[in-house]
Amino acid sequence: MSTMKSESDRPKLTTIGRPIDLRYPTNLAIVLLTLVMFAAGIWTMTMRGESFVASVPHSLAWAGTVFLSWALAREVDPDRWYSAFFAAAGGFIAASMYAPPPLLAIFWFLLALRFINRSTGHPPGLLDVAGFWAISAWLGWTTHWTFPWLSLPVLLFTGQRPRPATTQIVFGAAIATAGIAVGIANG
């Protein structure tokens, strides 16, 4: 008799997370491509005269842009795997030509799509909503004041779906309050 718990018996930290199964060729390809982008970023920055330590954050931004662009495109168009690689290429080109976008903003969009689409088959849990609220508030403070306001319809729409959770309405009100406070604080 085994005392080990199976993976389905363990409590999940998030209901909207999705593991990357490397048995699928497209998942393996994006992981390898992300690692290549990280290495290319290190090499490019060191060739420009930056130190290895200084090149790591820039390289992580390149790799993160490629991966999150791919994940966002997979969320939008899950039936066509190749469209995600076009998005990854576009994300890399934009990041290398201009500057890497704030990765937390792309992650926010990914979470918003998962809340609305429920692509994992589950509604967002309390920890998911709290994390989304925290990311929205942080982006509202550091990037643009509209992020908390944009979170409000996401949470309200999610609360109207089948099996609604009342926490979305509570967090929606908190986000609206945070948006007003950030807007007033930033002038």
Read off the tokens for 70. 């791919």
Q: What was the pLDDT predicted at 128? A: 86
Helices (H), the chain: 25-47, 52-76, 81-97, 103-117, 126-142, 146-160, 167-186
Dump pLDDT digits (tens) for 91-116: 888 877 777 778 888 899 888 888 88
For the chain, what are the domain ranges?
Answer: 25-101, 105-186
Query: Quick one: pLDDT at residue 43?
Result: 92
Q: Mark 43-66 as b/e (b = at least 16 C-beta within 10 Å).
A: eebeeeeeeeeebeebbbbbbbbb
Confidence of residue 1 (pLDDT cuts 50, 70, 90): very low
Q: Read off the pLDDT band of 31 (50, 70, 90).
A: very high
pTM to 2 decimals?
0.73
Residue 72 to residue 128: CA distance in whole angstroms: 17
Q: What integer pLDDT is reported at residue 148 of this predicted model?
A: 84
CA 79, 85, 91 angle in degrees (round to 5)? 125
pLDDT in tens, 121-177: 777 888 888 888 889 888 888 888 888 888 888 877 776 555 545 555 566 666 666
